[in-house]
Structure 1
Amino acid sequence: MALQNRVTPLGEIVADPARGTLMGNRGVLHDDERRLGQSRWKHKPWIACTLLFKGRSRKPMTPGRYTELFFLDEATSLAAGHRPCAECRRAAFNAFRVAWAAANESNGLPSAVEMDAALHTARVDRWTRKQIRHERPAADLPDGVFILVNADPWLVWRGRLLRWTFGGYDATAPLPRVMATVITPAPTVAALAAGYSPGVHASAADAG
């Protein structure tokens, strides 16, 4: 039986047997029976990590340890409100900081704490605990951003839309010339527009 540890671009944590390409962390969200409780995060740093790092081995949802979350790809993790891990994905973390600084016309690079605070404000409504979304012209969105189309998440990628599924991208559509409901948090959209290039699942090359 699949554990409830797969994250969608909508930020939801669900059970699905498909394997992800990145692992994430929001704190300890499960109990001794490896079941999620009501909380969907325990701290502001929401990170996305590589699956393999320095030979470390973990059993997912070990009691008392942080809850391992899994994403189809980096674009999915960014849409859900995560950022690159500063330890196991240091190069990606540094590139994300550079793009963040460029987007904000800052003379210095932001700290992880500063980015986490801004992301937390932008990704989850304080009162409803639901994902925050915003409207932008679809034609102005950079690659790597997710939008909603008929309540489903679609990725903006190379001038077209790719439909997200747990196993990969399975369909394409033209990029609409209308206002779009953007899932990816606004600060991350700005970093993507400033040059950060996220990893996407191999199926993006074959979708449609």
Structure 2
Amino acid sequence: MPRQNRVQPTGEILAVPERGAFLGNRGILHDDTAHQHGLLTHRRWRHKAWVCCVLEFKNRRRKLMSPNRYTELFFHDEAVALAAGHRPCGECRRADYKAFLAAAGHAGRVAGFDNQLHAARAIPRSYGQRRHETEAGFLPDGSFVLVETGPALIWQDALHPFTASGYGTPQTKPAGRVCVLTPEPTLKALRAGFIPIVRLP
């Protein structure tokens, strides 16, 4: 039974059988019986430190959706995690965490950056995803946009349509104004040279 734990670049969390390449944490989003039924509550976060982690670290093992434990979320790749509003974890991805914050121009306590990122990614109370528009030509590799067919990744001067199963056939990069899914603080890091891990076919 697929559990509702696969995060999309649009912010949706789906129940699909495909495995992700990264793990995420936003706090406890499931109830005490979720290990049996696999579904989340209406909540989409319980704190502002949304992180993106590796799947294996120090031989730790977890039972998915255990009571009183954070909900294990999964992403197809790091570009999806960044679009959904996550950042590299400071424990299991220390080097990436430091490189990301440096590229984003942040110094000091990470809580300050998490507050800034949360304001750029989330719509309070409705648990929605905040989006914005900009010129496509200004977007760096690793950005996600929303086009008529759904979310798509900008990568190496092409547009890569995305579904829960992964990326489709590359298309021509759009021109003009587009709806951007990746939050602005993360775009700043991408523009400054942070390169996310992308799983293209």
Q: How far did residue 127 of structure 1 move?
A: 4.7
- Is residue 78 of structure 1 aligned with residue 82 of structure 2? yes
Counterpart for residue 161 of structure 1? 159
- Are 1:122 and 2:120 matched, yes or no? yes
For these two proteins, the number of residue pairs brought into alignment is: 197
After TM superposition, the runs of 4+ consecutive aligned structure 1 residues lying more than 4 A away are none
Q: Displacement, 1:139?
A: 1.3
Structure 2 portions without partners, runs of 5+: none
Q: Which of 165, 170, 173 is the matching residue for 2:171?
A: 173
Q: Which residue pairs with 1:30 in the alignment?
A: 30
Shift of 1:167: 2.3
Task: Give the percent of matched residue pairs that are identical in Structure 1 and Structure 2.
Answer: 50
Q: CA deviation at 1:155?
A: 0.1
Shift of 1:100: 0.8
Opposite residue 15 of structure 1, the aligned amino acid is: A
1:97 alignment counterpart: 101
Once the two structures are superposed, what CA deviation does each residue of 1:139-194 show, in whole Å capped at 9, x if it has no partner?
Answer: 11100000011151000000000011222212211111111100000111111111
Q: What root-mean-square deviation, in Å, do the aligned CA atoms of Structure 1 and Structure 2 show?
A: 1.2
Shift of 1:111: 2.6
Residue 52 (str. 1) matches residue 52 (str. 2): no
SS in 2 for 1:14: strand
Does residue 6 in structure 1 map to residue 10 in structure 2?
no
Shift of 1:129: 2.8
The TM-score with structure 1 as length reference comes to: 0.91
Code of the residue aligned with 2:79 in structure 1: it is A
- The corresponding residue for 1:188 is 186
Secondary structure at the counterpart of residue 171 of structure 1: coil
Q: Is the 8 A contact 1:7 1:69 kept in 2?
A: yes
Check the 8 A contact 2:57/2:92 in 1, yes or no. yes
